[in-house]
Amino acid sequence: MPREKEKDLTQDLYARVDVYGLAPNLETCLQCGKCAGVCPVANVSPSYNPRIIINDILRGRADRWLKSEEIWRCFWCANCYTVCPMDIPYPMLMMQMRYMAIENGYGLKYFFPFKRFAMRASEDGLTFAPASPKARERIARIRQGIGLSPWPEISEKAREEYKALFDMTGVTDFLASITEDNEKPVDSTYQEGRITGARSKGN
């Protein structure tokens, strides 16, 4: 493993990741490994380890996790949080890590389905509105079958107010700023060499 150089570290990385103050106690991490022990992702993918990710953020190592596809495998089961003796809200940290990855062009394939969903929601005034015409027809039949209107009735005023929330909070501009042109390739593993029998580069 090459020696770590200070010029390769990101200064104030912790503050830049935890912009919303949702994981303010990373420094209390004991590196006990309980989080990794109950993590289903770490169980099937040995290169992923929550305590190593926490350590890297505290040390200023952004290169490894920022480009890693494995940060998108966490599905917020919160097992790590329930066993952490220091009550570190790791799922909230992961959410903010993903935001930073997106802003740097990584993992966008996981973001675009959410973008399409959010854009439809801002236009329709509904938090759930399937794009598929068949899905809409099925919902309409079910609603009519129980005596409701075919589709939820949303007034124009309500649509305008709902869209205004997206605009005022900056969500509309944020969604528009993330395009496929910004996408960068990601590494399949978080920490190279930790998976037994993994193929080396060039093979």
What is the structure's pLDDT at 203? Answer: 40
Domain membership flag for residue 132 = yes
> CA torsion sign, 31 to 35 to 38 to 40?
negative
pLDDT at site 5: 65
Task: Provide the number of structural domains found in the chain.
Answer: 2
Q: Cα separation of 61 and 53, whole Å?
A: 9
Q: Choose one of 107, 124, 156: the last residue of a domain.
A: 107
On whether both 40 and 103 belong to a single domain, the answer is yes
pLDDT at 104: 92
Predicted confidence at residue 3, as pLDDT, reads 59
**Is residue 129 domain-shared with residue 50, that is, in the same domain?**
no
Q: What is the pLDDT of residue 192?
A: 62
**What residues are paired with 106 via a beta bridge?**
184
99 and 114 assigned to the same domain: no
Same domain, 154 and 119: yes
pLDDT (0 to 100) of residue 6 = 67
Out of 44, 75, 107, a domain closes at 107
State residue 180's pLDDT score.
Answer: 86
Is the same domain home to 103 and 31? yes
Gyration radius (Cα) of the chain, Å: 21
* 93 located within any domain: yes
**H/E run at residue 171:** helix 171-177
What pLDDT is recorded for position 11?
Answer: 85
CA gap 139, 151 in Å, rounded: 8
Same domain? For 170 and 77 the reply is no
Instruction: Determine, yes or no, domain membership for 203.
Output: no
pTM, full prediction: 0.77
Tens place of pLDDT for every residue, the chain, 203 residues?
A: 555 666 668 889 999 999 999 999 999 999 999 999 999 999 988 888 999 999 999 999 888 888 888 899 898 999 999 999 999 999 999 999 999 999 999 999 999 988 988 988 888 888 877 778 899 899 999 999 999 999 888 899 999 999 999 999 999 999 999 998 889 988 877 766 554 433 434 44
pLDDT for 89: 97
The domain in which residue 32 lies consists of: 6-107
